[in-house]
A and B are shown apart, each in its own frame.
Chain A
Amino acid sequence: MTVTMWNASDVAERVVNQRPLFILDVRNEDAFADWKIESPSFEYKNVPYFDLLDGVEELVTELPKDKEILVVCAKEGSSEMVADMLSEEGVDAAVLEGGMKAWSEHLEPVKVGDLPGGALYQFVRLGKGCLSYMAISDGEAAVIDATRMSDVFVKFAEEKGAEIKYVFDTHLHADHISGGRTIAEETGAQYFLPPKDAEEVVFDYEPLKDEDTMQIGSVKLDIQAVYSPGHTIGSTSFIINDEYLLSGDILFIDSIGRPDLAGKAEDWVGDLRETLYSRYRGLSDNLMVLPAHFMDMKEVNEDGSVKRQLGKLLEENHGLNVKDENEFRRMVTENLPPQPNSHQEIRETNMGKITPDTERKREMEIGPNRCAVRG
C-alpha cells in the first residue's frame, strides 16, 4: 500500500466538480470545528493525530472502503504519519501536501466573462472564501481585492501578456492580508484605496473617489468607482464595462456585509442601509454582482465561479429585503458571528503599521472569513 501526495489543486478539482471524498482530518477538535475543507460532496471524520499515536487499528474499521481517503492536518507532518500508519494496516490514503496552510493559500482562477479586448477573471480562494479579480483588456490589467499570494496575480498577468496598470482594494480588509501593495510595488502599478479607510495607512497610495473612472486597454475599458459605505466607512464598489458590479464586502450572494469589524456597528449601520437600499437599487438590475467573499459552497456555481445578477439578489437575498429599518438595524448589530481570527492584527498589517513575517501572516489568516451577516 502506498501514500500519495495531493496538492491543493487536486482537492479544489473535487470540490468544484462535487466529487465524493472522505476527509480524515487529524487536527485537534477545536481547529476542525473552527474551519475545514468545505464541500457538500465530502464526508468527514475528525480524529486528532495525538489520539492515534498508539495505533490506527480501531480507526481502520471506521473508514470507507469504496471512497478516496485524504488525510489532512495543519501543515502535513501529522497527516503523513497517520497515512503511513494506515498504509501499514492496508489502507490507501492520500495526504494533502502543505495541509490546511496550503489549502488556505490556494487560488483557483475562473473566467467570469469576456470583456472588450480581453476578459474578467475571478480568483477563488476556496479555503477561505476570498474572491479577487483581474480585468484584462488589450495588454493592460487591473487587479481588485488581491489576496496575500501576490505572485499568483503577477504570474497570471504575465501569462496573459498583460501589464498590471491599476491595483484596487474595495476597502481595508479585516479577514485577510491584502496583496495589493506588494503587487503595485513589484509591477509599478498604481495602488488605489478608499481614503476614508486609509486614514491610518503609513504608505503612499492613490485615493479613490466616488465616480472616479479608470480605463485600461486601447478599447478604453471603463472601471468606475461607486462609493458604497457600510461594511467600512470607505467601502467602494466597482462597475466594470457597465456589466459587472464588484461589490466588495457590502453585498454577497446569500448574505450582506457586517458593519462591526472596525468596532463601529452602530455608526455604520445607517450607511449600510443607504448603500444597499438606495444606492444599489438605483443601479441596473442587469449588473452581474461579483462579491469579495463567499461563505458557503452553495454560493459557488457549477463552473466554480461566484456571481449572480443584481436583479435576482434584490429579490432573493434576505439582507436586501428587510423592510423595517429597526429590524434591519437589529439584524446587523446583534447576534453577529464571532469576528475573524486576528482581525485587528490583520487590519494593522494592511495599514502597513506592522510587518509580520510570512509564517506569522499565514497563522493570522487561519480560519474562515466571517465578513457577512445572514438575515
Chain B
Amino acid sequence: MTIQVHEKLDAKGLACPMPIVKTKKAIGTMEPGQVIEIQATDEGSLADLKAWAKKAGHQYIGTNREDGVLVHYVRKSSGEEEQDTSFERTVSNEELKQKLSEDVQVVDVREPAEYAFAHIPGAVSIPLGELESRLSELDQAKETYVVCRTGSRSDLASHQLTDNGFTNVTNVIPGMSEWDGETKNNNE
C-alpha cells in the first residue's frame, strides 16, 4: 500500500544510529506539518524513532511492515497544539459521536498517512493543503463536521469551507488525538 507523503527516506540496510541521523537531517529541510516516510530494516529503529520524535516534538504516526522492511511515518512538528481556534461553530468528540448515525459528512483534513493509520469510518480524507482544489468532492449543503488531530487544522479548513459557500460547517475539538470511538485502519 502506498501512502502519499512529502518526503521519502531509504534507510534500508543501515544500522543504528544512521536511520535516526538521516531522518533528523531530512526533516530539517521540510516544512512544518509535512510527512516523511522512512524505510528501514533495523528493528531498533521503531522504538528509537518513536522516542526521538516525541522528544523533538514531531508526531510519530505509525509503522507498516512490508516484506521485512519497516515503513515509518513521521510528521514534522507544526506547533498546532499551541494555536487558538477562531471558527465559531464547534462540537466536542462526544457530540460528534452522537451525530455519526445521522446523514452527515465528516471531512478529515489530516495528512493521508495520519488518516491511513486511524480514522472515523466513513470520513472523507482531504488534507488541508488540498482542500480548496478538491471542494467538488464534498456536498455543500450537507451537515459537515471537520476533524483533524487537535482542532487546529480543522479550524482553518472550516473557515475555507464557509468562505466557499458551505452553509452548515462545524469544527470538531479536539479531534483524533483524543478520539475514543470506532476507527478504521487502512493498513490492516
- Is B16 a contact partner of A73 (Cβ separation < 8 A)? yes
Q: Is the CB of A51 within 8 A of B55?
A: yes
Is A74 positioned at the interface, with any CB of B under 8 Å from its CB? yes
Q: Does B52 contact A (CB under 8 A)?
A: yes
> How far apart sit A61 and B154, CA to CA, in the bound complex (Å)?
46
Q: Which residues of A contact B44 (CB under 8 A)?
A: 74-75
Least distance between A301 CB and chain B CB atoms (Å): 35
A50-B24, A53-B21, A53-B24 known; A75+B16 contact, CB < 8 A? yes
Give the residues in chain B near A30, CB-CB below 8 Å.
47, 51
Whether, in the assembled complex, B36 has its beta carbon less than 8 Å from a beta carbon of chain A, the answer is no
In the assembled complex, the CB of B120 is this many whole angstroms from the nearest CB of chain A, namely 30
Interface contact B47-A31, CB-CB below 8 Å: yes
Residues of A within 8 A of B15 (CB): 75, 77
Chain B positions within 8 Å of A50 at CB level: 17, 20, 24, 48, 51-52, 55
Contact check, A78 vs B17: say whether CB atoms are below 8 A apart.
yes
B52 — nearest CB in chain A belongs to which residue? A50
Q: Which residues of A contact B20 (CB under 8 A)?
A: 49-50, 53
A339 within 8 A of B: no
Interface residues of B in 15-45 (CB under 8 A from A): 15-18, 20-21, 24, 43-44
CB closest residue in chain A, given B50: A28
- A74–B44 Cα distance when bound, in Å, is 8
* A29 CB–B CB distance under 8 Å: yes
State in angstroms the CA–CA spacing of A77 and B16 once bound together. 6
Whole-angstrom CA separation of A28 from B24 in the bound complex: 16
Annotate A227-245 by CB proximity to B: 1 below 8 A, 0 otherwise.
0000000000000000000
Q: Indicate whether A179 reaches chain B with its CB closer than 8 angstroms.
A: no
| CB pair B18 A48 closer than 8 Å | no
CA distance A73 to B20 in the complex (A): 14
Give Cα A53 to B28, complex, Å. Answer: 13
Contact check, B55 vs A78: say whether CB atoms are below 8 A apart: no
Q: Which residues of A contact B47 (CB under 8 A)?
A: 28, 30-31
Say whether A81 faces chain B, with CB atoms less than 8 Å apart.
yes
Cross-chain contact of A28 among B18, B21, B43, B51 (Cβ < 8 A): B51
Query: Given A75-B15, A78-B17: A363 and B51 within 8 A (CB)?
Result: no
Set of chain B residues within 8 Å of A74, measured between Cβ atoms: 16, 44
> A65-108 vs B: 1/0 string, CB under 8 Å?
00000000111011001000000000000000000000000000
Contact A29 B16 (CB under 8 A): no
Interface 0/1 of B43-79, CB less than 8 Å to A: 1100110011001000000000000000000000000
Shortest beta-carbon distance from B53 to chain A in Å: 9
CA distance A48 to B55 in the complex (A): 11
Would A77 and B51 be within 8 Å (CB), given that A50-B24, A53-B24, A363-B43 are in contact? no
Bound complex: CA A136 to CA B44 (Å): 40
B17 partner, pick from A29, A31, A49, A363, beta carbons under 8 A:
A49
- What is the minimal beta-carbon distance from A289 to any residue of chain B, in angstroms? 37
Give chain A interface residues in 19-51, CB to chain B under 8 Å.
28-31, 48-51
- Which chain B residues have a beta carbon within 8 Å of chain A's beta carbons? 15-18, 20-21, 24, 43-44, 47-48, 51-52, 55
The 9 closest A-B pairs by CB, nearest first: A50-B52, A78-B17, A28-B51, A77-B15, A50-B20, A77-B16, A49-B17, A78-B16, A74-B44
Residues of A within 8 A of B (CB): 28-31, 48-51, 53, 73-75, 77-78, 81, 363
